[in-house]
Amino acid sequence: MVDWNARISVEKFVVLSVFRQYGFSRTKLHGAAKSYEINKSVDRKRTCMQYNDSDTPIAALKSSARDFVSRRGWEPFHNPKDLAIAVCIEAAELCNIYKWRKITVEEAKTKDMLEKAEGELADIMIYVLHICNVLSIDLTKAVTQKLKKNEEKYPIGEPLRW
């Protein structure tokens, strides 16, 4: 489990160190720290501060993706059509890693191949999260419902029907 207080303390230390580096006074630093605590630590569990699947809720990833887009003012460009196209492009880039190669799972897990795949999968997931944000889709609910439909469509022990 993640120790949120430790993460917040480390972040606050880093922010204050940067502020000091640029010559902020003690009063300004204290005000910045309070502002930082109010703006960041209160909502910490909704941000992407966790670094693995077992501890990171999808809501935190969606929130981080939303914040990323918002801080850059990209909302006007994030419509369902363009985001769907972006997912396809990133998926094609993932396919390109393996194109024309006969690769075993062990070969695909080499450091170089794994880094490339992780990068492309992250890009795909980020665009999927953007689409979910734009369309207000609950991704966990959608995936769960789809898995249930697939269980019914493909029962265990029966041959595949196309």
**pLDDT-flagged residues of the chain (< 50):** 1-11, 13-19, 21-22, 24, 28-29, 32-48
Which pLDDT value is given to residue 54?
83
AA identity, residue 6: A
Which pLDDT value is given to residue 49?
53
Q: What is the pLDDT of residues 12-36, one digit of tens each?
A: 544 444 445 445 455 544 554 444 4
CA distances from 130 to 96, 99, 103, 118 (A): 23, 27, 31, 18
CATH superfamily of 59-162: MazG-like (1.10.287.1080)
Which pLDDT value is given to residue 15?
45
Map the chain to HEC letters: CCCHHHHHHHHHHHHHHHHHHCCCCHHHHHHHHHHHHHHHHCCHHHCCCCCCCCCCCHHHHHHHHHHHHHHHCCHHHCCHHHHHHHHHHHHHHHHHHHCCCCCCHHHHCCHHHHHHHHHHHHHHHHHHHHHHHHHCCCHHHHHHHHHHHHHHHCCCCCCCCC
